[in-house]
A and B are shown apart, each in its own frame.
Chain A
């Protein structure tokens, strides 16, 4: 049943890599217009959660459900999850030598349009769109003619991720440690890009280690993920608390 108030509904999601269980029953509800931050110590399963939602074949889902706008995500291919409006900004964007950014984005966008029953964009429409969207993250036009992420600096790679997000206009964006490897200027540009793309109809999940990013992208909720479960949820003040106290108190409280 589709409740328009709920964008992402995750119930008791369990997943493993090889035979090791990483996610041990995740519950999460995200509504349109919300920003959720997921924090947690290293190895708690943050990247696994984003990978499982996006459909990375490295992970095996062993239980639970996840739906986006009422559509069962787990039964869809990664490309169809994207078409349904899910976007994952990679912690480590992949370099693809020989595939130009232009061809990459055109293939992505036209695949989505096809899925939605729309005609492909003409070359001029497409280039115009690229131009407009590039401005969101102040991405150099030269990068568009280069191979995907090849030789990009850390900051350029992350800006490129947000650029792709701007083009694909997802309903739910998951930013997996988008702040890692960024200097303060790049962080500001990336965060401002994310904020520009925010609408009352879409939502964002920010996965991060640090409170710093949350100064720029204000969360409505902060969740603490520990040992494959969301163990604590509160308002934005929780991020500040974590910054001050670290994760030790969480570890003590929830070490089972």
Chain B
């Protein structure tokens, strides 16, 4: 039975309440979403492109939706400290799907707006109407379900020519006392020649019960603009998350995207980028470390729709325990996108006999005069290197951990924000140390109480 039906029923029964707590533009998009959902199913394990992730199953439990927008009494979030050392960020903290708190937004330069959709019309008139729900593909059931139930979200808007040096940090905290479906929405609009760096940190509170997060991020980059987007996930085994990032990149605009999955339960990321203007550029450098029975799954589609665009992707996985990791990547070079340069690479380490990694790099070229390559390699830790390190007295588990870290270091080298890079290095070191220690047992640590990212 399709998991969608219960949400359609919920929507039909309570659409008045849902709409009452939302801006009109959000309500306007629901009709299309509903039509999609009435005629489609969520992907199941084994469907094309879904080797390990069962999206239908993520939504199958009887999940609660906070349609009346009951505020969350969160000492949790209040106590929640999020400082990357030596780096000053302006923060927005979201608990479940509601704004909890902001910190230091007043320190952002003029022309940078960070607000909820509820305040978007006041703070940044016209933007929501123009972009919300217009970028992400409402024909995708996962996106449509998000659009159907979404009541609020965060808008980041940078005005023409404004360079926002101060990184913006969006902390998404899941703290559910009953099983919940949390629908989060993010809209990022950079006007011409604007620049901005965004760090998102997704966490789950230790006492939270099994829940599902549906996330849709829409990005529009006007000509000459530049967005660096680091998406860190450090949740726990009880959390299922499906995230869709849809980006449109115009002439000479640049998008650098780093999905970093340190811990998760089931995590599926769809990353869809359209390079729509000449010399647009996209870089995706991501990593995932999985252990126990976790699933990390990244699927990227990069469409080269215009000539002289460049793209580069490097995704690295280390899978331990009984975990599963999957990467499916498609580069599609459309008619007329000549002088495209597009590269895609997926490198993986299977660190235990029962872990599995699935990889499927794909390239479709409908145009002459392009430079493209794709590749994938999956192997085990180098036994000779392990013995060499042990013979120098480095204990086996530590040697394993050092080798796994070393494997990830080129992804970290791509992180241009230096304090963040140092912090990520430390987090990955800590993560891999626990992996190497336990080998297979659940670590079940309460990551979010001392949110490492932060």
Residues of A within 8 A of B (CB): 54-57, 77-79, 81-83, 87-88, 90, 93-99, 103-105, 107-109, 111-112, 115, 147, 164, 168
Give the CA-CA distance A108 to B389 in the complex, in Å.
8
- For residue B9, CB closer than 8 A to chain A, the reply is no
- For residue B417, CB closer than 8 A to chain A, the reply is no
Which of A55, A81, A94, A147 is in CB contact (< 8 Å) with B384? A94
Is B390 in contact with A77, judged by CB distance below 8 angstroms?
yes
Give the CA-CA distance A140 to B144 in the complex, in Å.
60
Is A98 in contact with B409, judged by CB distance below 8 angstroms?
yes
In the complex, what residues of B have CB within 8 A of residue A90's CB?
388, 391
Is A99 in contact with B402, judged by CB distance below 8 angstroms?
yes
- For residue B385, CB closer than 8 A to chain A, the reply is yes
Listed from nearest, the 3 A-B pairs whose CB atoms lie closest are A98-B406, A82-B393, A78-B390
In the complex, what residues of B have CB within 8 A of residue A79's CB?
390-391, 393-396
Report the minimal beta-carbon distance from A241 to chain B, rounded to whole angstroms.
Answer: 33
Report the minimal beta-carbon distance from B79 to chain A, rounded to whole angstroms.
Answer: 33
- Given the known interface contacts A57-B387, A94-B384, the answer about A82 and B392 at a Cβ–Cβ threshold of 8 Å is yes
- Given the known interface contacts A55-B391, A77-B396, the answer about A96 and B410 at a Cβ–Cβ threshold of 8 Å is no
List the count of A-B residue pairs having beta carbons below 8 Å apart: 80
Give the CA-CA distance A163 to B392 in the complex, in Å.
12
- For residue B403, CB closer than 8 A to chain A, the reply is yes
In the complex, what residues of B have CB within 8 A of residue A147's CB?
406
Which of A55, A87, A99, A103 is in CB contact (< 8 Å) with B390? A55
Residues of B within 8 A of A (CB): 382-385, 387-396, 398-399, 402-403, 405-407, 409-410
Give the CA-CA distance A105 to B402 in the complex, in Å.
12
Report the minimal beta-carbon distance from A100 to chain B, rounded to whole angstroms.
Answer: 9
Give the CA-CA distance A192 to B53 in the complex, in Å.
60
In the complex, what residues of A have CB within 8 A of residue B395's CB?
77, 79, 111
Is B387 in contact with A56, judged by CB distance below 8 angstroms?
yes
- Given the known interface contacts A83-B393, A108-B392, A108-B393, the answer about A99 and B387 at a Cβ–Cβ threshold of 8 Å is no
Give the CA-CA distance A107 to B391 in the complex, in Å.
12
Report the minimal beta-carbon distance from A99 to chain B, rounded to whole angstroms.
Answer: 5
In the complex, what residues of A have CB within 8 A of residue B390's CB?
55, 77-79, 82
Give the CA-CA distance A133 to B353 in the complex, in Å.
40
Report the minimal beta-carbon distance from B382 to chain A, rounded to whole angstroms.
Answer: 8
Give the CA-CA distance A94 to B385 in the complex, in Å.
6
> Can you pick out 22 interface pairs between chain A and chain B where the beta carbons lie within 8 Å of each other?
A55-B387, A55-B391, A56-B391, A78-B390, A79-B390, A79-B394, A82-B391, A83-B393, A94-B387, A96-B389, A96-B406, A97-B406, A99-B389, A99-B403, A104-B389, A104-B394, A104-B402, A107-B394, A107-B398, A111-B393, A164-B392, A168-B393
Is B406 in contact with A93, judged by CB distance below 8 angstroms?
no
Is A98 in contact with B410, judged by CB distance below 8 angstroms?
yes
Closest to B397 in A: A79
Closest to B408 in A: A98
Is B388 in contact with A107, judged by CB distance below 8 angstroms?
no
Closest to B383 in A: A57
In the complex, what residues of B have CB within 8 A of residue A57's CB?
383, 387
In the complex, what residues of A have CB within 8 A of residue B396's CB?
77, 79
Closest to A84 in B: B393
In the complex, what residues of A have CB within 8 A of residue B385's CB?
94-96
Is A111 in contact with B387, judged by CB distance below 8 angstroms?
no
By secondary structure, the B interface counts as: helix
Report the minimal beta-carbon distance from A14 to chain B, rounded to whole angstroms.
Answer: 21
Is B406 in contact with A99, judged by CB distance below 8 angstroms?
yes
Give the CA-CA distance A93 to B384 in the complex, in Å.
9
In the complex, what residues of B have CB within 8 A of residue A93's CB?
388
Give the CA-CA distance A79 to B402 in the complex, in Å.
15
Closest to A56 in B: B387
Give the CA-CA distance A99 to B392 in the complex, in Å.
14
Give the CA-CA distance A99 to B396 in the complex, in Å.
15
Give the CA-CA distance A104 to B402 in the complex, in Å.
9
Which of A94, A99, A115 is in CB contact (< 8 Å) with B393? A115
Closest to B388 in A: A94
Is A111 in contact with B403, judged by CB distance below 8 angstroms?
no
Report the minimal beta-carbon distance from A6 to chain B, rounded to whole angstroms.
Answer: 23
Report the minimal beta-carbon distance from B131 to chain A, rounded to whole angstroms.
Answer: 41
Give the CA-CA distance A41 to B382 in the complex, in Å.
29
In the complex, what residues of B have CB within 8 A of residue A103's CB?
402
Report the minimal beta-carbon distance from A48 to chain B, rounded to whole angstroms.
Answer: 14
Report the minimal beta-carbon distance from B433 to chain A, rounded to whole angstroms.
Answer: 12
Give the CA-CA distance A88 to B385 in the complex, in Å.
14
In the complex, what residues of B have CB within 8 A of residue A78's CB?
387, 390-391
In the complex, what residues of A have CB within 8 A of residue B399's CB?
107
Is A108 in contact with B394, judged by CB distance below 8 angstroms?
yes
Report the minimal beta-carbon distance from B424 to chain A, rounded to whole angstroms.
Answer: 15
In the complex, what residues of B have CB within 8 A of residue A108's CB?
389, 392-394
Which of A56, A77, A104, A115 is in CB contact (< 8 Å) with B392? A104
- 7 additional contacts (CB under 8 A) given A79-B391, A79-B393, A104-B394: A77-B390, A98-B410, A99-B402, A104-B402, A108-B393, A112-B393, A168-B392
Give the CA-CA distance A99 to B382 in the complex, in Å.
13
Report the minimal beta-carbon distance from B288 to chain A, rounded to whole angstroms.
Answer: 17
In the complex, what residues of A have CB within 8 A of residue B398's CB?
107, 111
Is A111 in contact with B394, judged by CB distance below 8 angstroms?
yes
Give the CA-CA distance A97 to B413 in the complex, in Å.
13
In the complex, what residues of A have CB within 8 A of residue B392's CB?
82, 104-105, 108, 164, 168
